[in-house]
Amino acid sequence: MIRLCSRVSSLLLLVTLGTFATSLAAAADREESRTATFRSDLALISLPAASSGGCPDNTLRFDVTGNGSSTNLGATSVNEFVCLDTSTLLFTAQFTLTGGNGDRVYGTASGFGVPTSATTFDVHGTWTFIGGTGQFRHIKGNGTSLGHVNLVTGAAPHELIGNVSNLDPQE
């Protein structure tokens, strides 16, 4: 009788563990199914700011605005500030992407510039999404950015490519 109870208990434990493992696998599959490729093509204007507020000492602040299109966001507007170390061309940035419906994605970026002339440089960076609003309130993601900056005109076309997750289509 004791052996039978022990076997039944063992069997119940195995069934419970199997159900738990299946639930975890299903949750992982749901999470993975919400991972998507992110791509954004942006026409930006980068202009020196009146002050270096928000930037470390020995860096110049550039205010960046523009628009373009992004997967998951559609028509996209950009508001960003960049802190550039002019001696090394290393930069950090904080940005907001706003989709056509008003939902926002917040992010940070960092990277470096490579001079292509006395007044232009190519930008190589990485970005990370840190949150958002509306359907993007739980967004996470990261990727790379490539761009070009013309210091005379301010023109700064950029492309962001990466992956995002925790999209919330229920909003």
Domain ranges within the chain, ordered by starting residue: 1-33, 37-165
pTM: 0.78
Give 27-79 pLDDT, tens digit per residue: 444 444 478 999 999 999 999 999 999 999 999 999 999 999 999 899 999 99
Parallel/antiparallel/unpaired status of strands 74-85 and 60-70: antiparallel
Cβ atoms of 125 and 148 within 8 Å: the answer is: no
Give 71-108 pLDDT, tens digit per residue: 989 999 999 999 999 999 999 999 999 999 999 999 99
Which contacts qualify for 47-50: CB closer than 8 Å, 24 or more apart?
Answer: 47/154, 49/81
Instruction: Please count the CA atoms within 13 angstroms of the CA of 150 that sit on its side-chain side.
Output: 9
Return left, alpha or beta for 125; rule: phi > 0 is left, psi -120 to 50 is alpha, else beta: beta
154 alpha-carbon distance from chain centroid? 24
**Fold classification of 37-165 (topology level):** AOC barrel-like (2.40.350)
